[in-house]
Structure 1
Amino acid sequence: MTLTAELSLYPLDEDYIPVIQSFIDGLNKRADLQVVTNAMSTQIQGEHEAVMSAVSDTLLASYEQHGSRQVLVCKFIPMALDIG
Protein backbone atom coordinates (compact mmCIF):
# COMPACT_ATOMS: atom_id res chain seq x y z
CA MET A 1 0.00 0.00 0.00
CA THR A 2 1.24 3.49 -0.84
CA LEU A 3 1.51 5.84 2.12
CA THR A 4 1.95 9.62 2.11
CA ALA A 5 3.21 11.40 5.21
CA GLU A 6 3.56 15.07 6.03
CA LEU A 7 6.31 15.74 8.56
CA SER A 8 7.20 18.84 10.57
CA LEU A 9 10.20 18.73 12.91
CA TYR A 10 10.45 21.23 15.76
CA PRO A 11 13.84 21.17 17.50
CA LEU A 12 13.65 22.73 20.96
CA ASP A 13 16.93 24.56 20.43
CA GLU A 14 17.85 28.08 19.37
CA ASP A 15 20.01 26.72 16.54
CA TYR A 16 17.19 24.74 14.93
CA ILE A 17 17.93 25.09 11.20
CA PRO A 18 20.87 22.60 11.09
CA VAL A 19 18.77 20.03 12.94
CA ILE A 20 15.88 20.36 10.48
CA GLN A 21 18.21 20.31 7.47
CA SER A 22 19.95 17.19 8.74
CA PHE A 23 16.57 15.46 9.16
CA ILE A 24 15.51 16.40 5.62
CA ASP A 25 18.88 15.28 4.24
CA GLY A 26 18.39 11.90 5.91
CA LEU A 27 15.01 11.49 4.24
CA ASN A 28 16.42 12.51 0.87
CA LYS A 29 18.97 9.68 1.06
CA ARG A 30 16.13 7.16 0.80
CA ALA A 31 15.92 6.04 -2.84
CA ASP A 32 12.64 4.25 -2.14
CA LEU A 33 10.76 7.48 -1.31
CA GLN A 34 9.55 10.55 -3.09
CA VAL A 35 10.47 13.55 -0.90
CA VAL A 36 9.18 17.11 -1.35
CA THR A 37 10.05 19.93 1.04
CA ASN A 38 8.46 23.36 1.31
CA ALA A 39 8.59 26.17 3.87
CA MET A 40 6.07 24.48 6.18
CA SER A 41 6.77 20.74 6.03
CA THR A 42 8.25 17.78 4.20
CA GLN A 43 6.06 15.26 2.43
CA ILE A 44 7.27 11.73 1.79
CA GLN A 45 5.60 9.04 -0.24
CA GLY A 46 6.30 5.39 -0.89
CA GLU A 47 5.34 1.92 0.20
CA HIS A 48 3.98 1.78 3.75
CA GLU A 49 6.98 -0.04 5.23
CA ALA A 50 9.46 2.29 3.51
CA VAL A 51 7.72 5.43 4.82
CA MET A 52 7.40 4.13 8.38
CA SER A 53 10.99 2.89 8.38
CA ALA A 54 12.26 6.23 7.06
CA VAL A 55 10.41 8.20 9.72
CA SER A 56 11.65 5.94 12.52
CA ASP A 57 15.26 5.63 11.31
CA THR A 58 15.66 9.32 10.47
CA LEU A 59 14.18 10.49 13.77
CA LEU A 60 16.41 8.12 15.73
CA ALA A 61 19.48 9.36 13.81
CA SER A 62 18.44 12.95 14.53
CA TYR A 63 18.11 12.20 18.25
CA GLU A 64 21.54 10.57 18.26
CA GLN A 65 23.18 13.45 16.40
CA HIS A 66 21.35 16.44 17.91
CA GLY A 67 19.80 15.22 21.16
CA SER A 68 16.24 14.25 21.95
CA ARG A 69 14.80 17.74 22.47
CA GLN A 70 12.79 17.56 19.25
CA VAL A 71 9.13 17.25 18.43
CA LEU A 72 8.03 15.53 15.21
CA VAL A 73 4.47 16.09 13.99
CA CYS A 74 3.29 13.55 11.39
CA LYS A 75 0.14 13.19 9.33
CA PHE A 76 -0.36 9.92 7.46
CA ILE A 77 -2.64 9.37 4.48
CA PRO A 78 -2.97 5.79 3.17
CA MET A 79 -2.88 6.71 -0.51
CA ALA A 80 -0.74 8.31 -3.18
CA LEU A 81 -1.15 12.07 -3.52
CA ASP A 82 0.33 14.50 -6.02
CA ILE A 83 3.07 15.87 -3.77
CA GLY A 84 5.36 17.34 -6.27
Structure 2
Amino acid sequence: MQLAVEISLYPLKDQYLRPIQWFIGRLDAYPEIQRKTNGMSTQLCGDYDTIMALLATEMKAAHREWGKGVFVCKFIPGGVNLDHSE
Protein backbone atom coordinates (compact mmCIF):
# COMPACT_ATOMS: atom_id res chain seq x y z
CA MET A 1 0.00 0.00 0.00
CA GLN A 2 1.24 3.47 -0.87
CA LEU A 3 1.22 6.44 1.51
CA ALA A 4 1.73 10.16 1.01
CA VAL A 5 2.70 12.38 3.93
CA GLU A 6 2.97 16.14 4.14
CA ILE A 7 5.25 17.04 7.06
CA SER A 8 6.34 20.31 8.59
CA LEU A 9 8.90 20.73 11.36
CA TYR A 10 8.76 23.72 13.70
CA PRO A 11 11.88 23.67 15.91
CA LEU A 12 11.34 25.49 19.20
CA LYS A 13 14.53 27.53 18.95
CA ASP A 14 15.67 30.82 17.46
CA GLN A 15 17.97 29.23 14.89
CA TYR A 16 15.25 27.09 13.31
CA LEU A 17 16.54 26.66 9.74
CA ARG A 18 19.47 24.34 10.51
CA PRO A 19 17.34 21.61 12.18
CA ILE A 20 14.89 21.70 9.25
CA GLN A 21 17.68 21.34 6.69
CA TRP A 22 19.24 18.56 8.78
CA PHE A 23 15.92 16.67 8.89
CA ILE A 24 15.34 17.00 5.14
CA GLY A 25 18.89 15.82 4.49
CA ARG A 26 18.23 12.70 6.54
CA LEU A 27 15.10 11.97 4.51
CA ASP A 28 17.27 11.91 1.40
CA ALA A 29 19.02 8.82 2.78
CA TYR A 30 15.93 6.79 1.79
CA PRO A 31 16.14 6.27 -1.99
CA GLU A 32 12.98 4.16 -1.97
CA ILE A 33 10.77 7.17 -1.21
CA GLN A 34 9.92 10.21 -3.31
CA ARG A 35 10.51 13.58 -1.61
CA LYS A 36 9.46 17.07 -2.64
CA THR A 37 10.04 20.17 -0.52
CA ASN A 38 8.68 23.70 -0.83
CA GLY A 39 8.76 26.75 1.44
CA MET A 40 6.04 25.41 3.73
CA SER A 41 6.42 21.64 3.96
CA THR A 42 7.96 18.44 2.68
CA GLN A 43 5.94 15.75 0.94
CA LEU A 44 6.91 12.09 0.98
CA CYS A 45 5.43 9.28 -1.08
CA GLY A 46 6.23 5.60 -0.99
CA ASP A 47 5.45 2.29 0.66
CA TYR A 48 3.25 2.74 3.75
CA ASP A 49 5.42 0.66 6.10
CA THR A 50 8.65 2.23 4.87
CA ILE A 51 7.39 5.77 5.39
CA MET A 52 5.94 5.07 8.84
CA ALA A 53 9.19 3.39 9.94
CA LEU A 54 11.39 6.21 8.63
CA LEU A 55 9.20 8.84 10.29
CA ALA A 56 9.50 7.06 13.65
CA THR A 57 13.28 6.83 13.25
CA GLU A 58 13.93 10.32 11.92
CA MET A 59 11.50 12.21 14.16
CA LYS A 60 13.09 10.56 17.19
CA ALA A 61 16.57 11.41 15.88
CA ALA A 62 15.52 15.04 15.36
CA HIS A 63 14.26 15.34 18.92
CA ARG A 64 17.46 13.81 20.27
CA GLU A 65 19.67 16.06 18.13
CA TRP A 66 17.78 19.36 18.40
CA GLY A 67 15.53 19.11 21.43
CA LYS A 68 11.93 20.24 21.40
CA GLY A 69 10.18 20.76 18.10
CA VAL A 70 6.72 20.30 16.64
CA PHE A 71 6.00 18.01 13.70
CA VAL A 72 2.73 18.53 11.84
CA CYS A 73 1.79 15.71 9.47
CA LYS A 74 -1.03 14.92 7.05
CA PHE A 75 -1.39 11.33 5.85
CA ILE A 76 -3.06 10.25 2.60
CA PRO A 77 -3.36 6.49 2.14
CA GLY A 78 -2.94 5.35 -1.41
CA GLY A 79 -0.40 8.06 -2.18
CA VAL A 80 -0.61 11.01 -4.54
CA ASN A 81 1.26 12.33 -7.54
CA LEU A 82 3.80 14.74 -6.05
CA ASP A 83 4.33 16.31 -9.47
CA HIS A 84 0.69 17.46 -9.71
CA SER A 85 0.56 21.26 -9.77
CA GLU A 86 -3.12 22.07 -9.11
Interval of TM-score (by shorter of Structure 1 and Structure 2): over 0.9
Q: Which consecutive segments of 4 or more residues in structure 1 shift more than 3 A?
A: none
Indicate the residue corresponding to 2:54 in structure 1: 54
SS in 2 for 1:76: strand
Give the TM-score taking structure 2 as reference length. 0.92
Indicate the residue corresponding to 1:26 in structure 2: 26
Residue correspondences, number? 83
Long gaps (5+) in structure 2: none
Query: Where does 1:1-84 land on structure 2 (aligned, <5 Å)?
Result: 1-67=1-67, 69-84=68-83
2:28 and 2:45 map into 1 onto residues whose CA distance is 11
Long gaps (5+) in structure 1: none
Give the TM-score taking structure 1 as reference length. 0.94
Identical-residue share of aligned pairs (%): 39
CA RMSD of aligned residues (A): 0.8
Superimposed CA distance per residue, residues 25-63 of structure 1 (whole angstroms, 9 cap, x where no aligned partner) = 111111111010000100001110111011111111111
1:21 and 1:54 map into 2 onto residues whose CA distance is 16
